[in-house]
Amino acid sequence: MKLQTAIDRVNLSQAEELVKLFAGKTDIIELGTSLVKDYGLFALKKLNQYKKDSLLLVDIKTCDEGAYEFCQGYEQGFDILTVMGSSSIETLEKCYEISEKYQKYMLIDLLECPVEKIEKIKYFKNAIYCMHTSVDKGENKNIIQDIQWFRKRFPEIQKLCVAGGITLDVCKEMKNSKIKLDSVIIGSAITKADNMEDQMRKFKEALRRDHERNKRSDGSI
């Protein structure tokens, strides 16, 4: 499993310093939706120069104008863009078409997506699907069981990640449960820690065994 570290609800200068700090130490650096709304893609573009060998994801949460928004994001040099699973099939198809054209990645955010909708959108082979517990809902205490259920219900989905209130103990439990995930998204558990680098190291250590065992053999990023 890879570690995705999310930067959110900070100003642009702080985001720049965090990208510099996280670059090369986390697999994926996420620029959260608040940064997109506060500053826009053009202002965030400069952060690409600091990412080193980490991938840079921008959480644009597209729900319409898929082709336009994804073209804009990839043209600014970002590696992964997000689209809401609740969007129309047509929007998802346009986003996927653009991501394939640019040979980059599309993440489908399944926030509040019912089973019936996931059933209709489970066939984007190279997409990453994200099981997402909203900030407003708080911690999901059944995340392990939810992931296990999802894997059985949707075996067609290869690349799966989780987000929302994931703690270090949960990551250890995921590894012990032998759950197959592409990545785990961690935000404030790292960015609000007194020692962010040490906390990041602990999360990577908790995920390392699966990360090494599954390294790109399944076509994951």
- pTM higher than 0.85: yes
pLDDT, greater one: 72 or 179: 72
Domain ranges for the chain: 2-213
| Contacts with 145 (C-beta within 8 Å, 6 or more apart), sequence order | none
42: CB partners within 8 A, 6+ apart = 76
Q: Look at the block and give the residue holding tokens 């065992």.
A: 213
For 160-206, what is each residue's pLDDT tens digit? 999 998 999 999 898 888 888 999 999 999 999 999 999 999 999 99
* Cα(73)–Cα(47) distance, integer angstroms: 13
Q: What is the pLDDT of residues 210-221, one digit of tens each?
A: 445 444 444 556
> What mean pLDDT, rounded, does the chain reach?
92
Give the span between the Cα atoms of 214 and 173, in whole angstroms: 18
With vertex at residue 140, the alpha carbon angle to CA 36 and CA 127, rounded to the nearest 5 degrees, is: 50
Residue given tokens 């700090």 in the structure block = 21
CATH class assigned to 2-213 = alpha beta
pLDDT digits (tens, 9 = 90+) for 25-61: 999 999 999 999 999 999 999 999 999 999 999 999 9
